[in-house]
Amino acid sequence: MKNILTLTFIFISSFSFAQDGKMAQTPPAEILQQIKIDVVYLASDYLQGRGTGTIGEERAADYIVHRFQQIGLKPKGENQTWFQEFPFFEITNPHATDKGRIEGKGKNVIGFLDNGAKNTVIVGGHYDHLGMGGSGSLHAGEPEIHNGADDNASGIAAMFRIAEYLKNSNLKSNNYMFIAFSGEEKGLFGSKYFAANPTIDIERINYMFNMDMVGMLNEEKVLAVQGTGTSPTWKPILEKKNAQGLDIKGRESGVGPSDHTSFYLKDIPVLHFFTGQHSHYHKPSDDSENLNYEGIISVADFMISLVEQADGSKLTFTKTKDSSEKKAAAFKVTLGVMPDYVYTGKGMRVDSVIKGRVGDKGGLKNGDVIMKIGDINVEDIYKYMEGLAKFKKGDSTEVVVLRGKKLKKKKLKVTFE
Ligand SMILES: [Zn+2]
């Protein structure tokens, strides 16, 4: 541990943070400082991108244990340890005939706040990232460390903040379990394993909160919250005006590309928090200097306020439509663009176009708002997915976009490959 603390100190002293000082309510300096320490350490090159099953994952796991101990949590992994090991596998080249299969072990880190209550609330997020790149990376070129500051050092730092608050609060009607998952980037391996092999009685899990990328809160303070349909408790409290001034953009489905899905599929109410897609996503440039640290506190404090409002008896679970899951499985083609998940207008805004892919070849540009694909009117991101599901490789179609500040209408032709 000594080693880690020394290193943390070095990172902090050699790192300059953008201070804007214009925030109406500057959060207490110590909270802000702690969140920076957590993110800067987890997203440092020393952890080599926290790839599941690597030495970097191990270093990150040790740091998480150190913080859990500092906060005063108790270990709740396997055999009274902090860890829960799980197997993972990876198909290295899905297009090759002799598919390379890598197998290994990753580990979840689990801390517990025991209030002697009947039910337990789980707050978690993944701490693994892409390591030196690999199939999940959008980086073209030589392997490079993917530090994953937003994805998802930010979520882990927010989790520590929530744990610290709950430890010192009088919210005692639930126990709280904090889980740092690994294996997420390779396919939700850690959370799936926990949901299948929970270290507490699964019937007594009240609900689960997941944070994945909460470090890039924008100026409009838009926070995407998924899973609002998984319990009747959520919508009324999410719709209330919040003290953090966040503009909540809710989606009902309990299924999405992160760890909350593993819990939803076990009939547990979930909420997933996400500040939105950006150009550093899954690239080596997802570094700690890009993050909005006050924003991380806002998200954490907002989540704490939800815990306060949901306090009481066990929540009722409701199934959601989960259209995205089935539609996603039906996809045969892709435009090769990253959608802007926090865009609130009509259409589907493209955050970034991936070079050399279908959209790029057809002339799509970053910031374009897709209004139509073929004869499908793209009302929102879900209509966009529905639209894409209708095409197969080799099909050509027209894509109508609005471009630039003046929202000039452009018609493009794309050919799916
Ligand atoms: Zn992530």
Tell me what the mean pLDDT of segment 155-181 comes to.
96
Ligand 1 center to residue 170 CA distance, Å? 31
Q: Which two tokens stand for residue 75?
A: 């270990």
pLDDT at 98 over 70: no
pTM of the full structure: 0.76
Ligand 1 center to residue 126 CA distance, Å? 7
Between residues 376 and 290, the one the model is more confident about:
290
Determine what percent of the chain is predicted with pLDDT higher than 90: 69
Ligand 1 center to residue 13 CA distance, Å? 28
Average pLDDT, the chain: 88
Ligand 1 center to residue 214 CA distance, Å? 10
Q: Among 44-48, 188-192, 251-255, 388-392, which is the least confidently predicted range?
A: 388-392
Q: Would you place residue 136 in the very low, low, confident or very high pLDDT band (cuts 50, 70, 90)?
A: confident
Ligand 1 center to residue 361 CA distance, Å? 28
Ligand 1 center to residue 250 CA distance, Å? 19
Ligand 1 center to residue 394 CA distance, Å? 32
Ligand 1 center to residue 99 CA distance, Å? 25
Ligand 1 center to residue 282 CA distance, Å? 9
Ligand 1 center to residue 408 CA distance, Å? 34
In this prediction, residue 93 carries a pLDDT of 56
Between residues 352 and 20, the one the model is more confident about:
352
Q: Could you report the per-residue pLDDT of 151-167, keeping only the tens digit for each?
A: 999 999 999 999 999 99
